[in-house]
A and B are shown apart, each in its own frame.
Chain A
C-alpha cells in the first residue's frame, strides 16, 4: 500500500480528525487573541506591568509543551480542555508582544496630534492606535496560528483528538504511512492557515501603508479578491462549527467513557469491551483510545475524566500502589482490589484470563552470541550489553531497578525509549536488550528471543478491568458483560490479536469487532 492508497482507504478518519484539529486550533487561537490583544494594550499603557507580564509569557514559552500538558492534567483533566489551554498559553507571547510593539512603534507625534485635537483616550485607542498597530498585531497572530496548528498535534497525547492521533498511533505501531497521514495534513493545514491569516494581515493594513506594487486600482482589485477568499473561508469554518454543534446536541443518552493505554493490546481490549457494551445495552461508549501511559489513565480515572480502563494487576500493585513486587497472583489481586476500593472507590472486576507480563527480549544474534536463554544468563554478561527500555520500565520497581537488584547485575548502560522505536533500535543494533510484554505482537514481528524469568522476579500481570465505583452504581448492567468477555480471553488469543495489528497492519477496532463476531458474542 502506498501513501495515496492509505489516504483513500482512511479518508473519513483523516477528514474527521482534520476537522477536529481545525476546531481545536481555532478555539485556542481565538481565545489567545481575546486574551493577548487586550493584555498587549494594557502593558503599553501601564508601563509597570510590562516586565511582569512579558516575563510570565516568556517563561510559559520556555516550558516544554509536553511538560506543560502533563502538568495540566491533574488540574484540568484530560481531553480538549488542557490541550486548548496549553495552545492558548503558547500562543500568548507572540500576540502580546506584537500588540505591545505595534502600539509602541506608532509615531509619538501622531498620538500627540490626536490628543491635541481633542480625541479622548478611548477614541485614540480605537481610531488611531489599534488601526495603526493592526498590521504588527496580525503578524503576531499569524505566527501564533501557524505554531498552534503544529502544537495541537500534542493534543492527541492527552486524548483530545486531532491529527496528532494518527501521528502517535503510527509511531506506536511502526506504521509510517499512518504517521504521514497525520503529519502531512497537519503540515498542509499550517500552510493554509498561514496563507489565510496572511490575507487578513494584508487586509487590515491600511492601503496607504502597504508597499505599493502596481497601480492603486490594481491594489483595490486584489483586495476585493482577498476579501472574497476570506469570506468563503469564514463561511466554511462556520459550517464546520455549526455541524459539530448539532452533532453534539445534548440528549439523555447514557454514556460511559472507556480509555486505553498507549499500546496495541490496550486498544484492542478497549474496542472489544466498548463494542460489547454498546451491543448489549443502550449505553453509548465514548472511546478514549491511546490516552497515555499508566499514570495518565489512572489519574484520569481518579479524577472522573474516564470511567473505565484495563490495567494489569502487577502494575497496579507495584507501580500505582508502590508495593515491592511479589509473585503471588492471588495476593496481588486481592490487595489491589481492596486498596483501590478503599482509597479511590475504584472497582476492580474479575481478573481477565491472560497474563501479560514483562519479558526481556534480545534479537536472535545476541541470543546466539552469548548463549542467552534465561535472565540469569543475561546477568552474567550484563555489563557488555545496552538496555533500551520504555521510560516506565526504567523507573518502576518492577522494572530495571528491581530487576538488577534481584539478579544482581548491571547493564553497560540504559536508555529510555518509548513504544516501537525501541524495537527499531534493537533491529539496528543500537541497543541490545528491550523490555516487552509477553503478548506483544511485535515480538513475533521482529522475530525476537524472550528470556525466561528463572528467578521469578516479575510479578503477575493479569489484566484487570478498573471501573469507577459510581459508574457501577449507575450502570450495574455492564459488570456481567465485562466479566463474560474477560473469561474468554487468554494469552494465545491476545498474542494472535496483537499480531494482527502489529504485523498484519489491521486496525485495532476492526480486529476487535472481528473477534467478537467470530465468537458469536454480538447479538445485533
Chain B
C-alpha cells in the first residue's frame, strides 16, 4: 500500500537516508526502529510530506504522493506524535474536531463521530470533552491524540514514538489497546519507536534502520531468531526473545538427532545403545517412515527381568508429544501437567523430528542467565 522507491535524503551534506526501498502492506502495523539519527522519523515524515526526499519516489496505492494535494494527503492520514501535539488552547472536543470542522462537515455527524472516538480510546466523553489538554494526564492526552488521528477515519496512521514519553505502566496499557484496536480496524500503521520490546509486541513487520539504511525488514519472529548481521543481533539483544517466549518454538530448542532404535531391538541391545550414547531413553521408530512408535527408558528396562524381549513389547506407547511449532510455554505447561521428562517433537504424520528433555529445557532456560558457548537458540 505504501511503497518507497530509492529514497535518499540529504540534510546539507549529510546523507540521512541512503537509497532505501521497501513496501508496507495494507492492514499491517510496521515498526521502524533504530538508534537516534538512523533516519526512522525522517522516513515517517516523508509519508505525509513534512519532509521532502532529495531523490526517489513514494507511492500510496500506486499514486505518487508528490502529485497529490498535500493538504488532502495529510487530512487522509492520522498523525500522532510524542508529547501529543495537542493544541493547548483548545478543549479536547475542539482538538478532536478540528479537521472535520475545517472540512465543514455536518455538525451532528461531527458530534456523533467524536463520541465514537472517545469510546474507542476509552475516555469518558462527558468528563473529558470540555477539559483542556493541560488538565489531562500523559496517558489520557495520548489517547486524545489517537482519537484525533482517527477522526477522519483514515486508512493510514502515522505514529512517531507516541508512547515514549509515558510511564511504563501506561505505556503497556496503551500498547495493548492499540493491538486490540488494530485487530478490529486493521489500519495500515507506520510506527516509529526506539523500544525493541514495543516493536516486537505490536508489529506485524519490523524495519531495523541504521545510518539511513534498512538492515532488516522482517517479521518479529525472524528478527529475533535470524538476525541478519551482528549489529542487528546486538541491537535486538541475545535475550530479547525471552520477553516474547511465545516465539520460542519446539523446533528451536529440540535435540535434532535423538537416539532412536527399531522396534525389534532387544532390551539388552537397547541398554547397550543407551550406555554408549549416554542417554537414558530411546525413541522407537519405524524404519522407513521414521514414525514414532514408542519410547523406552532405562528405568523400565531395569524393571524388566527378561532382557531378551523386543522393545516393542515393553515400550511406552501412550505418548505426550508436541509439534515443531508449539511454543516453549506450551511445552513447559505440558511437562508440568503430565510430569514427563521426555517430549518428542513430531510432525503431522507422527514422524519423529526431535526431542525435548527436562535437561535440555533447563539448558535452554538457563541461556538467559548464563553465557553458554553453544546455546540451543544460536
**Contact surface of A with B, Cβ cutoff 8 Å:** 109-110, 112-120, 123, 127-128, 131-132, 206-209
Q: B71-91 interface mask toward A, CB cutoff 8 Å, 1 = contact, 0 = none?
A: 111111101011111111110
Contact yes or no, A109 B85, CB < 8 A = yes
Contact yes or no, B50 A117, CB < 8 A = no
Q: How far is the CB of B78 from chain A (nearest CB, A)?
A: 8
Total residue contacts A-B, CB cutoff 8 A: 71
Contact yes or no, B79 A208, CB < 8 A = no
- 15 example contacts (A-B, Cβ-Cβ < 8 A) are as follows A110-B85, A113-B79, A113-B85, A114-B85, A115-B74, A116-B48, A117-B79, A118-B71, A118-B77, A127-B98, A206-B88, A208-B132, A208-B134, A209-B89, A209-B134
Report the separation of the CA atoms of residues A109 and B90 in the bound assembly, to the nearest whole angstrom: 16
Contact yes or no, A123 B102, CB < 8 A = yes
| Known contacts A112-B50, A132-B88: A118-B74 contact under CB 8 Å | yes
Residues in chain A near residue B220, CB distance under 8 A: none
Q: How far is the CB of A511 from chain B (nearest CB, A)?
A: 61
- Is there a chain A Cβ closer than 8 Å to B210's Cβ? no
**Contact surface of B with A, Cβ cutoff 8 Å:** 45, 48, 50, 71-77, 79, 81-90, 98-99, 102, 132-135, 148-149, 158
Contact yes or no, B89 A118, CB < 8 A = no
Report the separation of the CA atoms of residues A288 and B168 in the bound assembly, to the nearest whole angstrom: 77
Q: Which one of B71, B77, B81 contacts A113 once the chains associate, using CB atoms below 8 Å?
A: B81
Residues in chain B near residue A113, CB distance under 8 A: 79, 81, 84-87
Report the separation of the CA atoms of residues A119 and B73 in the bound assembly, to the nearest whole angstrom: 11
Report the separation of the CA atoms of residues A120 and B69 in the bound assembly, to the nearest whole angstrom: 11
Residues in chain B near residue A112, CB distance under 8 A: 50, 81, 85
Contact yes or no, A208 B71, CB < 8 A = no
Nearest A residue (CB) for B158: A116
Report the separation of the CA atoms of residues A240 and B231 in the bound assembly, to the nearest whole angstrom: 78
Q: How far is the CB of A106 from chain B (nearest CB, A)?
A: 10
Residues in chain B near residue A131, CB distance under 8 A: 89
Report the separation of the CA atoms of residues A168 and B209 in the bound assembly, to the nearest whole angstrom: 76
Report the separation of the CA atoms of residues A123 and B104 in the bound assembly, to the nearest whole angstrom: 13
Report the separation of the CA atoms of residues A116 and B44 in the bound assembly, to the nearest whole angstrom: 11
Query: In the complex, given contacts A110-B88, A113-B84, A116-B45, what are 13 additional A-B residue pairs having Cβ atoms less than 8 angstroms apart?
Result: A110-B87, A117-B75, A117-B79, A119-B71, A119-B98, A120-B71, A131-B89, A132-B89, A206-B88, A206-B89, A208-B132, A208-B133, A209-B88
Q: How far is the CB of B362 from chain A (nearest CB, A)?
A: 50
Contact yes or no, A117 B74, CB < 8 A = yes
Report the separation of the CA atoms of residues A113 and B149 in the bound assembly, to the nearest whole angstrom: 11
Residues in chain B near residue A117, CB distance under 8 A: 74-75, 79, 98-99, 148-149
Report the separation of the CA atoms of residues A120 and B102 in the bound assembly, to the nearest whole angstrom: 10
Residues in chain A near residue B102, CB distance under 8 A: 119, 123
Report the separation of the CA atoms of residues A116 and B74 in the bound assembly, to the nearest whole angstrom: 6
Report the separation of the CA atoms of residues A503 and B319 in the bound assembly, to the nearest whole angstrom: 129
Q: How far is the CB of A368 from chain B (nearest CB, A)?
A: 77
Report the separation of the CA atoms of residues A119 and B95 in the bound assembly, to the nearest whole angstrom: 12
Q: How far is the CB of B259 from chain A (nearest CB, A)?
A: 62
Residues in chain A near residue B86, CB distance under 8 A: 113
Residues in chain A near residue B71, CB distance under 8 A: 118-120
Q: How far is the CB of A210 from chain B (nearest CB, A)?
A: 10
Contact yes or no, B132 A207, CB < 8 A = yes
Q: How far is the CB of B102 from chain A (nearest CB, A)?
A: 6
Nearest A residue (CB) for B132: A208
Residues in chain A near residue B72, CB distance under 8 A: 118
Report the separation of the CA atoms of residues A110 and B145 in the bound assembly, to the nearest whole angstrom: 12
Residues in chain A near residue B81, CB distance under 8 A: 109, 112-113, 116
Report the separation of the CA atoms of residues A135 and B75 in the bound assembly, to the nearest whole angstrom: 30
Contact yes or no, A208 B135, CB < 8 A = yes
Report the separation of the CA atoms of residues A57 and B196 in the bound assembly, to the nearest whole angstrom: 54
Top 5 closest pairs, chain A to chain B, by CB: A113-B85, A208-B132, A118-B74, A118-B75, A206-B89
In this complex, which of B74, B77, B82 has the most chain A Cβ atoms within 10 angstroms of its Cβ? B74
Nearest A residue (CB) for B135: A208
Nearest A residue (CB) for B79: A116
Residues in chain A near residue B84, CB distance under 8 A: 113
Q: How far is the CB of A504 from chain B (nearest CB, A)?
A: 63
Contact yes or no, A109 B83, CB < 8 A = yes
Report the separation of the CA atoms of residues A208 and B87 in the bound assembly, to the nearest whole angstrom: 10
Report the separation of the CA atoms of residues A119 and B99 in the bound assembly, to the nearest whole angstrom: 7
In this complex, which of A109, A116, A120, A208 has the most chain B Cβ atoms within 10 angstroms of its Cβ? A116
Q: How far is the CB of B297 from chain A (nearest CB, A)?
A: 65
